[in-house]
Structure 1
Amino acid sequence: MGESTVRAATPRGRGVEPARRGRPGFDRATLLDAAVAVFNESGYDATSVAALAARLGLSKAAIYHHFASKEEILETALGAALDGLEGVLAETGGIPPTDRLAAVLQGAVRVLAANLPSVTLLLRVRGNSEIERRALDRRRAFDQAVTAIVREAQTDGAVRADVDASVATRLLFGMVNSLVEWYRPGGPEDADGLARDVLTVALDGLRTR
């Protein structure tokens, strides 16, 4: 299969890597999206580069033009999901813990809606490689940060204290994470509406007032 390479001009004075294309229609971003869809459908471990290329109608060289390995595709996809979640924590710092808990939950739902395939992939990794273990470490750190916020809200008396903070966090994000099983962008409810619904159902059972 013939391959072509189109290089966009790099803006003067910037060290931005030119956009690269393998097969027309598959730049790095669209190739990543397509690969993640295949991983979610067939399983990451079960999908070789050869199988991925065959599914996408590409040569392996076209994939390697954008990514050095299958592992790099995985790392990029997981990083997108985790960067979004960690960004929510960073953006909500400095506000009262109960308000921050609400903002984190809403932000997490929006991240999931915006990066549904990558978040789905993140929730399915099991630590079978170093990349997966690093991703799981970051996910655990996120969960621990949310648990600390729940604990602070309990100390303030705004969230009931008869539920262990770590259990509450698992239950809250069990609800958020379950959205990958049924939520589809473009449906009757947008991400903001979904975030409001999750917040209402999740926190009304924890609030003391």
Structure 2
Amino acid sequence: MELFNEQGYDATSVADLTGRLGVTKSALYHHVDSKAQILQIALDEALGGLEEALATALDQPTAEDRLTAIVGGAVRVLTARQPQVTLLLRLRGNSEIEMNALARRRRFDHTVTELVREAQAEGLVRKDLDAGVATRLIFGMINSVVEWYRPDGAVDPDLLAREVIAVTLDGIRPRT
């Protein structure tokens, strides 16, 4: 995945992959059928993690709990699966695999937007905000983490999740 993120999926050849991994083509093909299968596995890991976080969030009792759970869960998925999520964020829809992944991502985004609307209806989120725009801004902040977060760095993933929750959710709460 790192090589796909460095060079782009389309620009990465099987020879590039085998060179980076230090294996022969036959050894690589013993484990996967194609470069496309590697992409599919990586995208399934990223999207699967986000979909699991969303399912957990949807099981929460209140709109506030659901929003808190999805924001924190998304940060934790990103920090745990950073190469895979980075690859997901850089998709352009150049293949059927990419188009399917983008469709899954859109479904995720639409569901989170509905969570924001529910929170607005309950008075937990400002009604003057567009729910779709608020969702994009929240996830813009979360997704930007791929550019600077380092798993071996000083920022603890749980602390990061709490701070993103505080910044995003406090910013969209009604003014008192």
Q: Output the TM-score relative to the length of structure 2.
A: 0.96
Which portions of structure 1, spanning 4 or more consecutive aligned residues, are displaced by more than 4 angstroms?
none
* Mapped pair 1:151 → 2:151: no
Contact in 2 for aligned 1:98/1:150 (Cα 8 Å): no
- Partner residue, 1:27: none
User: Amino acid of the residue matched to residue 159 of structure 1?
Assistant: V
1:117 aligns with 2:104: no
- Match of residue 78 from structure 1: 43
Partner SS, residue 205 of structure 1: helix
Indicate the structure (1 or 2) with the bigger Cα radius of gyration.
1
Q: CA deviation at 1:89?
A: 1.2
Match of 2:27 among 62, 67, 77: 62
After superposition, residues 151-170 of structure 1 pair within 5 angstroms as 151-170=117-136
The letter for the 1-side match of 2:84 is S
The aligned counterpart of 1:41 is 6
Measure, in 1, the Cα distance between the counterparts of 2:168 and 2:160: 12
Which residue of the partner structure matches residue 16 of structure 2?
A: 51
Amino acid corresponding to residue 137 of structure 2 in structure 1: L
CA–CA distance in structure 2, aligned partners of residues 189 and 149 of structure 1: 28
Q: Deviations over 1:141-190 (max 9, x none)?
A: 00000000000000001110101000000000000000000001121121
Question: 2:78 touches 2:85 (CA, 8 Å); kept in 1?
Answer: yes
Q: CA deviation at 1:93?
A: 2.0
Is 1:107 matched up with 2:73?
yes
Unaligned runs of 5+ in 1: 1-35
Deviation at 1:73, TM superposition (A): 0.2
The TM-score, its normalising length taken from structure 1, stands at: 0.81
Contact 2:125–2:172 under 8 Å retained in 1: yes
Q: Which has the higher helix share?
A: 2
Matched, 1:130 2:96: yes
Alignment-derived partner of residue 199 in structure 1: 165
CA RMSD of aligned residues (A): 0.9
| Percent of aligned pairs sharing the same letter | 61
- 1:58 is displaced (CA, Å) by 1.5
Q: Is 1:106–1:195's contact at 8 Å kept on the other side of the alignment? A: yes
Q: Find the aligned partners of 1:180 and 1:52 in 2 and give their Cα distance.
A: 22
